[in-house]
Amino acid sequence: MEVFLIGAGLFLLGISVIGIWRIVLGPTVIDRIVGGSFVGTIVVVLLVIIGLIYGRLELFVDIALMYSLLSFIGILIFSKYLSHQGP
Amino acid sequence: MIVVGIALISLGLFFFLSSAIGLIRFPDCYCRMHATGKADTMGILLCLLGLATFVLHKGFEGERFLLVVKILFIPLFWFLGGPTATHALLRSAFEKGVRPWTKDGKEILEWPEGES
C-alpha cells in the first residue's frame, strides 16, 4: 500500500508538470488560469496522499479542505478581475 | 478493501492523465476548459474515494469515521466550486472577445457589435 501511494504521488507530480508547462506556454491569460486551476486540483489529491504516507492525516485533511476553498475563490477573483483588462 | 482502493485510485489517475493530455493538445482555451473538467469531477472524486477506503481499512472507530467524512467533504466543495469557477472564467473569456477555434477558420457565432 505504501509503495502504491508513493507511486501515485509521483505520477501526479509528473502530471502537474504539464499544467505548469501550460502556464508558461499559454497564448492568452485564460489558458494560464486554466492551467493553474488544474495544478490546484492535483495539489488537493497530493496533500491527502502525503498525509496518508506520513500517518498524520487529521492535519493534512484540514489543509486540503482549506486549499480547495481558497483555490475556488482565487479563480473566481482572477476571472472577474481580468475580464476588464486588455489581452 | 485494499483492492477496491487501488482500483478506484487507478481509475482516478487515468482521468487525470487524459485531462492532462487534453490540456497540452487541444487548440483553444474553451477546449482546454472542457478537458480540465474531467479531472475536476471524476478524477478528484475517484481518487478521494479510494483514499477513504484506505483509511477505513484499519478500522471503523469514531475518529477514523470523522476523518472519512472530512475527506468526502473535499469533492463536495469541489463540485460546488469548480463548475462555478469554470463558468465565470468562460464568461470573462467570452466578454473579452476570445474567438472559439474552428477547423476551417470561419466564425460559428454572430458576435455583438463593439466587441473586439
* Contact (CB<8Å) A45/B44: yes
B38 with B18: CB under 8 angstroms?
Answer: yes
> Is A1 domain-assigned?
no
Residue from the list B19, B29, B85 with its beta carbon closest to the beta carbon of A76? B85
Q: In total, how many domains does chain A have?
A: 1
pLDDT of residue A29: 85
Whether chain A has a CB inside 8 Å of the CB on B72: the answer is no
Whether chain B has a CB inside 8 Å of the CB on A22: the answer is yes
> Is A5 domain-assigned?
no
Predicted TM-score (pTM) of the model is 0.88
pLDDT band per the 50, 70, 90 thresholds, residue A85 = low
For chain B, residues with pLDDT lower than 50 are 116
pLDDT band per the 50, 70, 90 thresholds, residue A26 = confident
B20 with A18: CB under 8 angstroms?
Answer: yes
Task: Give the residue from chain B lying closest to A43, CA to CA.
Answer: B44
Residues in contact with B19: Cβ distance below 8 Å, sequence separation at least 6, in sequence order: A38, B35, B36, B37, B38, B39, B43
Whether chain B has a CB inside 8 Å of the CB on A67: the answer is no
pLDDT of residue B11: 93
More confident residue, B100 or A33: A33
Residue A87 has pLDDT above 80, yes or no: no
> Is A4 domain-assigned?
no
pLDDT of residue B56: 87
C-alpha cell at B78: 469541489
Residue from the list B17, B43, B51 with its beta carbon closest to the beta carbon of A48? B51
> In chain B, pLDDT over 90 holds for what percent of residues?
26
* Mean pLDDT, residues A42-71: 90
> Is A59 domain-assigned?
yes
> Is A51 domain-assigned?
yes
- Structural domain range at position A16: 11-82
Q: What is the DSSP letter of B27?
A: S
* Contact (CB<8Å) B81/A68: yes
